Amino acid sequence: MPTAEDRRKLAEERRAVLEYLALKALADKKNVLQALYDYLVLNESPSKAAEKHGIQKTQLKSTAYQLMSKGRAALVVKLMQLAWPFIMEIEPIVENGYCKACNTVIHTNHAEPHIAVRHQDVIRKTAQEVEKKLRESLAKRKQVVRA
């Protein structure tokens, strides 16, 4: 049986993974997310996944490494599988070099650090929404299995 401590740690990892994925989506890095999905969930080679989505293989590998440091591997993959539609529907706040949250011009390369530093609240809120949708979809799925 998992202890309260196990459950707390799992919840913390889940939140950290979802916040990391939410940050990428908020920064309008859907192509990076797609490459991560192909690489980590569909087990494509990093060079093939990177090429398909127009990013550098080294960028994909370092992003995957950062994501995997947020939680245990099985949890990361499971969350990506289950939460994917909710991650992909996240509305970016930095788009075309402009931050809609604070009405500031932001170079695309600075989108992520900007959001991470200035809009931690948006990241947290977005990750919480994804978690809520995930819980609801899992509850619905259980009902279908029981019916």
Binding residues for Zn ion, rule: CB under 5 A, are 99, 101-102, 118
Supply angle C-alpha 122, 124, 125, rounded to 5. Answer: 65
- We find the least distance from the C-beta atom of residue 39 to Zn ion, in angstroms, to be 29
- We find the least distance from the C-beta atom of residue 104 to Zn ion, in angstroms, to be 5
Asked whether 38 and 44 are in contact (CB, 8 A), the reply is yes
- We find the least distance from the C-beta atom of residue 33 to Zn ion, in angstroms, to be 20
**C-beta closer to Zn ion: residue 14 or 114:** 114
Cα 56 to its chain centre, rounded Å, is 19
Q: Helix or strand or coil: residue 104?
A: strand
- We find the least distance from the C-beta atom of residue 8 to Zn ion, in angstroms, to be 32
**C-beta closer to Zn ion: residue 78 or 118:** 118
Strands (E), 45-103: 94-95, 98-99
**C-beta closer to Zn ion: residue 17 or 25:** 25
| Whole-number Å distance between alpha carbons of 51 and 57 | 7
Q: Helix or strand or coil: residue 105?
A: strand
Closest CA to 37 of 22, 23, 53: 53
**C-beta closer to Zn ion: residue 18 or 106:** 106
